[in-house]
Amino acid sequence: MSAHLSSDAIKSFDQNGFYSPIRVYSEAETAELRRQFEAVETHFGPKQAKRHITDLHLIAEWAWDVVHDPRIVDPITDVLGPNVLLWSLNWFIKEPLDQKFVSYHQDATYWGLEPHDVATAWVALSDASEATGPMKFVPGSHLEEVRDHDDTFGKDNLLSRGQVIDGDIDEETVVLSPLSAGEMSLHHVRLIHGSTPNQTTDRRIGMVLRYCATHVTQTKVRDTAVLVHGEDNFGNFDLLPKPETEFGEVELARQYDAVSRMQRALHSKDYEDSD
């Protein structure tokens, strides 16, 4: 069955800069993905897990399948066109009752990807209801220029630099995007968004897939990506293959290299320094 968005949904994404909710996984599939993800966290342990869950698709076949799943990729092609790369896979996790939040920001400020034909699929692997601090968006803000940001490096800010939009956001214009487990939202790389702390006793687990059109370039470093749909006639990224062995030596080295390059793009410094 086709997972493509309706023309109204595509129009809504173009006008607002986001679209949600989109059902991706059944309850049982979501529970299984969460189990697999938490098994990876357990396997590597609390200190090493953070490093290994980033770009998990490079070391675990199930995560490779997730980033290629037509239920995610078809809607992405509706907003980015038929030739699409996965740039990175990340996780935004809020533990039960923790104070972590995400300040209002635009992803385009610091990623180095140009032009801005870049979109995120934010997939809920647990309930992301209002009380969990789901994403909130400023509709239409992707149509404006990228605004100035300050780096706060705030302790409870989930963003690596604690970057925040310089200037006020009119809360009246903000739209909350709650999701049930197994649903996703899509958002444009210039959209202003953020989120508040999790007030529930379950984890809020966001699996965050960053996709771009193949003509996009990384302006800061020679970066890596995975072709997930169509053809790459540009060669702007080093394309990486499917993992053959779960957590294999070659796969771990490939993941380390990919994440290091991305870290250099995001922070202008090496992976070890920023960990």
Ligand X SMILES: O=C(O)CCC(=O)C(=O)O
Nearer to ligand X, 42 or 160 (CB): 160
Nearer to ligand X, 64 or 92 (CB): 92
Report the C-alpha gap between 189 and 266 in whole angstroms.
14
Nearer to ligand X, 16 or 195 (CB): 195
Q: How far is the CB of 130 from ligand X (least distance, A)?
A: 13
Nearer to ligand X, 120 or 141 (CB): 120
Nearer to ligand X, 122 or 237 (CB): 122
Asked if 22 is part of the footprint of ligand X (rule: CB under 6 A), the reply reads no
Q: How far is the CB of 245 from ligand X (least distance, A)?
A: 30
**Number of chain positions touching ligand X (CB under 6 A):** 10
User: What's CA 60's distance to the chain center, in Å?
Assistant: 17
Nearer to ligand X, 107 or 183 (CB): 107
Asked if 107 is part of the footprint of ligand X (rule: CB under 6 A), the reply reads yes
Considering only residues 183 to 222 of the shown chain, the ones binding ligand X according to CB under 6 A are 193, 195, 206, 208
Q: How far is the CB of 233 from ligand X (least distance, A)?
A: 28
Considering only residues 116 to 175 of the shown chain, the ones binding ligand X according to CB under 6 A are 120, 122, 135
Answer for which of 56, 79, 102, 265 binds ligand X (CB under 6 A) is 102
Q: Please, which residues bridge with residue 19 across strands?
A: 186
Answer for which of 92, 110, 211, 237 binds ligand X (CB under 6 A) is 92
SS (HEC) of the chain: CCCCCCHHHHHHHHHHCEEEEEECCCHHHHHHHHHHHHHHHHHHHHHHHHHHHCCHHHCCHHHHHHHHCHHHHHHHHHHHCCCEEEEEEEEEEECCCCCCEEEEECCHHHHCEECCCEEEEEEECCCECHHHCCEEEECCHHHCCCCCEEECCCCCECCCCCEEECCCCCHHHCEEECECCCEEEEEECCCEEEECCCCCCCCEEEEEEEEEECCCEECCCCCEEEEEECCCCCCCCEECCCCCCCCCHHHHHHHHHHHHHHHHHHHCCCHHHHC
Q: How far is the CB of 102 from ligand X (least distance, A)?
A: 4
Asked if 19 is part of the footprint of ligand X (rule: CB under 6 A), the reply reads no
Q: Looking up tokens 């957590």, which residue turns up?
A: 247
Nearer to ligand X, 102 or 262 (CB): 102
For residue 62, what are the CA distances in angstroms to 58, 59, 238, 260? Answer: 10, 9, 22, 22
Nearer to ligand X, 77 or 132 (CB): 132
Site for ligand X, rule CB under 6 A: 92, 102, 107, 120, 122, 135, 193, 195, 206, 208
